Amino acid sequence: MSDDVQGQTEAPEHDSKPGASGASAAVMDNSRRKPLLIGLAVAVVVLGIVYLGYHLLIGSRSVSTDNAYVAGENAQITPLTQGQVVEVAVVNTQPVRKGQLLMRLDDADQKIAVAEAEANLAMAQRRYTQSRAQGSAAGASATAKEAAIPEAQARLVSAQANLAKARTDYQRRASLDGSGAVSGEELTSARNALAAAQASVSQAQAGLSQARADAVSARQEETASRAATQGLAVNEAPEVRAAMARLANARLDLARTVIRAPIDGVIAQRTVQVGQRVTNATVAMVVVPVEQLYVDANFKEDQLGKVRSGQAVEVTSDFYGDDVVYHGKVVGFSGGTGAAFALIPAQNATGNWIKVVQRLPVRIQLDPRELREHPLRVGLSMEATIDLTSGGR
């Protein structure tokens, strides 16, 4: 009995221990959960404050994109005259300076054209000299013909005097006709002399008219002859100037057989070989101006609200990494997005239209000094960050 009672009394004590430990564990879990939740809430608040502070203090002061590439205004080397290539002085990737020899064409045809143009010029100058001489000769001839007019006038006066004498003689003899004082032969002779005098007067008058007409014609010929050279030096005459222009064109074609670099840069896409015949439309090579490159950065449309021309830009290249930072400025914006100028523009007027954020190319001018120190190449990937607080216009 005592053992049973003792067992009964001890059993509750043994059964009460597990319940007590479970309650204490639940109390401990609740006490740990609350600090964890509070810590998590604090972390979320701190992260929100950090993000808000970054957006207000840093994120809103700049915009950036890695959709940017190096570009440049390449110079296409196109011969301005045709001929066979006899020399190519450069190869791809070779740096060149402005005025450096790139290639040379066979100039035999151009030299012949220059010689022919020089001969034509000399002939035109000689014709001009001859025209002036003809004008002077025509003037002398006109003067001589004008001098013949007084002589013809003198002959007319002499003929008129002879006519008056012959008329007087005839009238005197005619008045004595029938009186026997003048024979019929004398009267006939006087009549013939009168007719001859009258003919001489007519002839003298015709001679005077002819002399005057000849003088007028000679003077007109002189005017026409001098018109082509009047008031003009030899190199101002139209025919001579035309010949000089043809000579200058021939010399220009000859000079164009030697092709030189128009800008500083690097040779790319050389396609000509020695012996090849080229024409005015042949692109022989391309010169890339490595010191005048720029960056086309394609920013999202919702990034450009505060971007202005003239704002400062920091640009890094995948080629050099973040250790090399280029400094530039915004110089302009494209006239449309890339999608607007695509070969097949997007057709947004459809039932399954999905809005896509568009990108607008922004032109960034780089510092030439930094380009010389760390040269770039067309097409390299870049990352551009525009400082929105740097002003601009």
Same domain, 213 and 194: yes
Q: Which two tokens stand for residue 122?
A: 């000399």
313 part of a folded domain: yes
DSSP 231: T
What is the mean pLDDT of the segment spanning 289-297?
91
11 part of a folded domain: no
pLDDT band per the 50, 70, 90 thresholds, residue 326: very high
Same domain, 225 and 179: yes
Contact 117, 246 (CB under 8 A): yes
Q: Which amino acid is at 277?
A: R
Q: Between 111 and 226, whose confidence is greater? A: 111
Contact 166, 193 (CB under 8 A): yes
**Cα(330)–Cα(314) distance, integer angstroms:** 10
What is the mean pLDDT of the segment spanning 79-98?
94
Same domain, 162 and 140: yes
Residue 260 lies in domain: 75-107+256-287
Residue 285 has pLDDT above 90, yes or no: yes
pLDDT tens-digit readout, 190-249: 778 888 888 888 888 888 888 888 778 777 776 766 666 666 677 778 888 899 999 999
Q: What is the pLDDT of residue 95?
A: 93
Q: Which residues contact 386 (CB under 8 A, 6 or more apart)?
A: 62, 63, 64, 299, 307, 311, 312, 313, 330, 362
- The CATH number linked to 346 is 2.40.30.170
228 part of a folded domain: yes
pLDDT band per the 50, 70, 90 thresholds, residue 16: very low
Same domain, 329 and 307: yes
Q: How far is CA 260 from the centre of its chain?
A: 18
Q: How far is CA 185 from the centre of its chain?
A: 101
45 part of a folded domain: no
51 part of a folded domain: no
Same domain, 191 and 171: yes
* Range in 36-40, 69-73, 323-327 with the lowest mean pLDDT: 36-40
0.85 exceeded by pTM: no
- The CATH number linked to 93 is 2.40.50.100
Same domain, 262 and 275: yes
Secondary structure of residue 111 in the 3-state scheme: helix
Residue 82 has pLDDT above 70, yes or no: yes
**Cα(295)–Cα(385) distance, integer angstroms:** 12
Q: Which two tokens stand for residue 92?
A: 């791809």
How many CB atoms are closer than 10 A to CB 309? 13
24 part of a folded domain: no
Among residues 64, 59, 74, which one has the least CA distance to residue 297?
64
316 part of a folded domain: yes
**Cα(149)–Cα(312) distance, integer angstroms:** 93
Please state the domain count of the chain: 3
Same domain, 205 and 115: yes
